[in-house]
């Protein structure tokens, strides 16, 4: 069975290097934060082309920290896309602010500037754009609206490490960029991890304090803090994988571009990739009339597929009290009802890529 993503291949290939990194951390017992976490922060900031990156314990915490650094809290609203992983909205909710869900466009599946404009109220403080599936959202259009209304733009980069928008790395476009290193993301830890990137030292200092129990000097707590530090072991592992990220990204692009060129079945619809962006194909999502039928068909042929995501945020039970209904974000709902994610990861072999393409082209529908 070809898995949708198989992390064991990378581990087997670079096992000695990963194990050496783990050993070095153990030798120095630099387990929580510390040297290896700090070194990764510097390397990751360099990779993203920003002055600061603050490593944290996961991407959800990164989003929470970003909201706190902007001073967002009770009484505020933050606009987020309805079609994203739920954690984009959690960061808002944790502060006491309210996530307001905007629809995506019908072709890029990214947050729709026209929908954002309609959702702005006098309580709106920020917009979180998500570079969904590794495809940068329409930053310029969102920024324009944000500037008109004095709003912050935050990037959720959890699926888009290394993606380019008008030649610039994501994570350095908005006020803050939030990354996840969850296993399966384009850059991943051996466990949980995340980072917040920014250009302003004041944000970096605020996040460093928040993630470290609210202190800059040990045992002197200036603000109510959290234990959101990046573990040393994860920092060391991430320093190894960061070296391979450009290679992995290249490979993801080759495979993604082949799918686009060679999957010609008219029953499939693919995400639009605007010319001013260079996506990183975190997930290769297509829409078809009957996704469960396609998933079963692919499974029978030995390929695992799944759905990202079957329920849009505004219709999740957790947010039922916000009062959204089916029909409020029709494009996001269509995507949830029709999406299928095909296998795509850097270590796929030629025969496997061809097998996915051939199976998709031979698919005749339900």
Ligand X SMILES: *Cc1c(COP(=O)(O)O)cnc(C)c1O
Of the residues 139, 182, 259, 281, which one makes contact with ligand X according to CB under 6 A: 182
CA 242 to chain centre: 16
Closest to ligand X by CB, 115 vs 297, is 115
Residue nearest to ligand X (CB): 59
Instruction: Determine, following the binding rule CB under 6 A, whether residue 331 of this chain makes contact with ligand X.
Output: no
Closest to ligand X by CB, 313 vs 357, is 313
Stretch that binds ligand X, among 82-90, 212-220, 321-329, 335-343 (CB under 6 A): 82-90
Sign of CA dihedral 339, 84, 166, 181: negative
Instruction: Determine, following the binding rule CB under 6 A, whether residue 130 of this chain makes contact with ligand X.
Output: yes
How many residues at the interface with ligand X, by CB under 6 A? Answer: 15
Of the residues 25, 47, 58, 253, which one makes contact with ligand X according to CB under 6 A: 58
Instruction: Determine, following the binding rule CB under 6 A, whether residue 170 of this chain makes contact with ligand X.
Output: no
Q: Which residue has the tokens 């990037």?
A: 155
Angle between helices 59-69 and 201-211 (to 10 degrees): 120
Stretch that binds ligand X, among 92-100, 156-164, 257-265, 345-353 (CB under 6 A): 156-164
Q: Build a one-symbol-per-residue string for 83-102: x at contacts with ligand X by CB under 6 A, - elsewhere.
A: -xx-xx--------------
Closest to ligand X by CB, 133 vs 363, is 133
**Structure tokens that stand for 329 in this block:** 């974000």
Pick the closest to residue 41 from 208, 156, 192, 158 (CA basis). Answer: 208
Instruction: Determine, following the binding rule CB under 6 A, whether residue 59 of this chain makes contact with ligand X.
Output: yes
Least distance to ligand X from the beta carbon of 292, Å? 23
**Structure tokens that stand for 212 in this block:** 């470290």
Least distance to ligand X from the beta carbon of 129, Å? 10
Instruction: Determine, following the binding rule CB under 6 A, whether residue 158 of this chain makes contact with ligand X.
Output: yes
**Structure tokens that stand for 307 in this block:** 């759905």
Least distance to ligand X from the beta carbon of 29, Å? 25
Angle at 146 between CA 144 and CA 151, to 5 degrees: 155
Half-sphere exposure (Cβ direction) of 160: Cα atoms closer than 13 Å: 28
Task: Please classify residue 129 by burial: count the beta carbons closer than 10 Å to its beta carbon, then call 0-12 exposed, 13-18 middle and 19+ buried.
Answer: buried
Report d(CA 226, CA 38) in Å as an integer. 18
How many other CB atoms sit within 10 Å of the CB of residue 130?
25
Stretch that binds ligand X, among 81-89, 230-238, 259-267, 268-276 (CB under 6 A): 81-89
Least distance to ligand X from the beta carbon of 154, Å? 11
Q: Are strands 77-81 and 124-130 parallel, antiparallel or unpaired?
A: parallel
Sign of CA dihedral 90, 91, 97, 98: negative
Closest to ligand X by CB, 153 vs 158, is 158
Of the residues 34, 48, 53, 60, which one makes contact with ligand X according to CB under 6 A: 60
Report d(CA 145, CA 191) in Å as an integer. 37
Instruction: Determine, following the binding rule CB under 6 A, whether residue 135 of this chain makes contact with ligand X.
Output: no
Of the residues 108, 180, 269, 331, which one makes contact with ligand X according to CB under 6 A: 180
Binding site for ligand X (CB under 6 A): 58-60, 84-85, 87-88, 130, 156, 158-159, 180, 182, 192, 194
């Amino acid at each position: 069975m070809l898995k949708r993503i198989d992390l064991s291949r990378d581990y087997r290939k670079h096992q000695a290097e990963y194990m050496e990194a783990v050993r070095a951390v153990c030798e120095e017992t630099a387990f929580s934060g510390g040297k290896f976490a700090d070194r990764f922060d510097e390397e990751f900031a360099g990779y993203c082309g920003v002055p600061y990156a603050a490593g944290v314990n996961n991407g959800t915490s990164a989003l929470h920290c970003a909201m706190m650094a902007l001073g967002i809290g009770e009484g505020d609203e933050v606009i987020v896309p309805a079609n994203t992983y739920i954690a984009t909205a959690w960061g808002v909710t944790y502060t006491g602010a309210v996530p307001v869900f905007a629809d995506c466009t019908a072709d890029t599946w990214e947050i729709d500037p026209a929908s954002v404009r309609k959702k702005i109220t006098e309580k709106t403080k920020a917009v979180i754009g998500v570079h969904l599936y590794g495809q940068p959202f329409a930053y310029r259009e969102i920024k324009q609206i944000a500037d008109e209304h004095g709003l912050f733009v935050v990037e959720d980069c959890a699926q888009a490490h290394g993606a380019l928008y008008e030649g610039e790395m994501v994570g350095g476009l908005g006020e803050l960029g939030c990354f996840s290193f969850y296993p399966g993301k384009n850059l991943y830890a051996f466990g949980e991890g995340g980072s917040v990137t920014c250009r302003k030292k004041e944000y970096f200092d605020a996040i460093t304090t928040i993630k470290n129990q609210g202190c800059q000097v040990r045992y002197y707590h200036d603000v109510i803090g959290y234990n959101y530090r990046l573990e040393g072991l994860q920092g060391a592992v991430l320093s190894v994988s960061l070296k391979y990220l450009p290679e992995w990204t290249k490979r993801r692009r080759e495979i993604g571009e082949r799918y686009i060129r060679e999957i010609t079945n008219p029953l499939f619809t693919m995400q639009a990739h605007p010319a001013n962006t260079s996506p990183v194909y975190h997930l290769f999502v297509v829409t078809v009339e009957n996704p469960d039928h396609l998933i079963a068909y692919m499974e029978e042929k030995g390929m695992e597929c799944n759905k990202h995501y079957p329920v849009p945020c505004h219709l999740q039970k957790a947010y039922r009290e916000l009062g959204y209904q089916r029909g409020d974000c029709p494009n996001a709902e269509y995507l949830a009802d029709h999406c299928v994610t095909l296998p795509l990861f850097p270590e796929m072999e030629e025969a496997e890529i061809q097998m996915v393409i051939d199976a998709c082209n031979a698919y005749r529908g339900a």
